[in-house]
Amino acid sequence: MGLCSPVCKILRRGKYFVLLFLSLSLLAWIATFSGETVKSAQVSPSTTQTLVKGDSLRDKLTSWTTAPDRLNTPPAKGECPEKSPLLQGAVKLSFESSLKLKDVQSDNKGVTEGEYEPPDCRARQSVAILIPHRSRERHLLYLLHHLHPFLQRQQLHYAIYVIQQAGDATFNRAKLLNIGYLEALKDYSWECFIFHDVDLVPENDHNSYVCDKQPKHLVVGRNATGYKLRYKGYFGGVTAMSKEQFLQVNGFSNIYWGWGGEDDDLRIRVELQKMKIVRPPADVARYTMVFHKRDSGNEINKDRMRLLGRTSQVWRKDGLNSCSYKTLSVERLPLYVNITVDIGKPQS
Ligand code: UD2
Ligand code: MN
């Protein structure tokens, strides 16, 4: 006992040292291991993916656990494809004398007050079609009959506006189109405007009724002219301009009364802004013009050449910013919005 006691004391103290050493090693090992995990989470790209996955899982969990009323909202629609799968290319047009407005209505049940949106996808553009009109009811019926399904096949969000000139003063196509632009923008912030004669029916649905980076002329050819472009600067019939492009040129001139010149004036405005007119390929930009004679009240504008010589001086003051008119009625009919306006008469 006398001999063991100093040895036993040393052994007993040694046990504490070993225990202390082991605990410290364990702590050091834990610290090193966890430090390395943090570091790898910061640098490894695969961890980023893991985090994204974690997020979507969290999203899923949130969607499963949110209030029931959120479950009732329809899922957000994806954007419609660049090329619609519904296109048919060149189609055979019909102009049946027996066609009635109610037939066109029942063929276009998806249209409400002239407006349509594709049911399965989000349209790539919202487009307002503007048709200047007076006493061409039969042409309007044929156009609605073909244009509604045509635009639906293109998967567009669109609305058709018919701008009716009241009274029997000389017709003014350009001013009616300015009014269409101003009035349609009161309904919705349309991105694109199609200025459309009532008697021109598109033959091929690859002719896209959307706006491009430049103003677009959609009528390369029509039946009456052997499907040839009439002249290089021709900009009449059907044209597409974005909201901004049309504003930039101050719209059409308001002072072309009667037939001719207003389309060339718009081309000059576009060129003054250094914009360039584009056209779809000739085999696609084809139209049938329903036969007609010159209307009474739309006689040739003998002043048109003189006016065209002044465009560069007057365009800033004559256009959208000086378009005065009185709206007599806005009727929201099933197939189009019918806006009747008093636009005055030419100043003598
Ligand atoms: C050409 C142009 C047209 C326009 C016009 C000269 C083509 C294909 N079209 O058409 O865009 O530049 O010359 O002004 O080149 N309208 C009525 N009721 C009337 C008179 C005219 O609704 O009493 C409307 C209707 O939308 C018609 C458009 O104005 O389509 C142009 O008139 P048009 O068809 O008599 O003239 P057009 O065929 O020579
Ligand atoms: Mn015509």
The neighbour count for residue 114, using CB atoms within 10 Å, is 23
Quick: pLDDT tens for 260-292. Answer: 999 999 999 999 999 999 999 999 999 999 989
174 CA distance to ligand 2 middle (Å) = 14
| Whether 59 is catalytic | no
Q: What confidence category does residue 224 fall into, taking pLDDT thresholds of 50, 70 and 90?
A: confident
> pLDDT (tens digit, 9 = 90+) per residue, 11-29?
566 666 556 666 666 665 5
Distance from Cα 144 to the centre of ligand 1, integer Å? 17
The predicted-structure confidence for 93-145, as pLDDT tens digits, reads as follows 999 999 999 999 999 999 999 999 999 999 999 999 999 999 999 999 999 99
pLDDT at 3 over 50: no
CA of 308 to the centre of ligand 2 (A): 21
Give residues with Cβ within 8 angstroms of 287, minimum separation 6: 200, 201, 202, 203, 219, 221, 222, 223, 237, 238
120 belongs to the catalytic site: no
Q: Residue 275: which residues within 8 A CB-CB, separation 6 or more? A: 214, 215, 245, 248, 249
Nearest-atom index, ligand 1, CA of 236 = 11
Q: pLDDT category, 62, cuts 50, 70, 90?
A: very low
pLDDT band at 321 (very low <50, low <70, confident <90, very high): very high
For the chain, what are the domain ranges?
4-70, 101-342
Q: Of 115, 183, 197, 205, which residue is the catalytic one?
A: 197
Instruction: Assign domain 101-342 to a CATH class.
Output: alpha beta
Q: Which among 197, 293, 336 is the best mutation to test ligand 1's pocket, defined by most ligand atoms within 8 Å of the CB?
A: 197
pTM listed for this prediction: 0.82
Is 262 catalytic? The answer is yes
205: left (phi over 0), alpha (psi -120 to 50) or beta: alpha
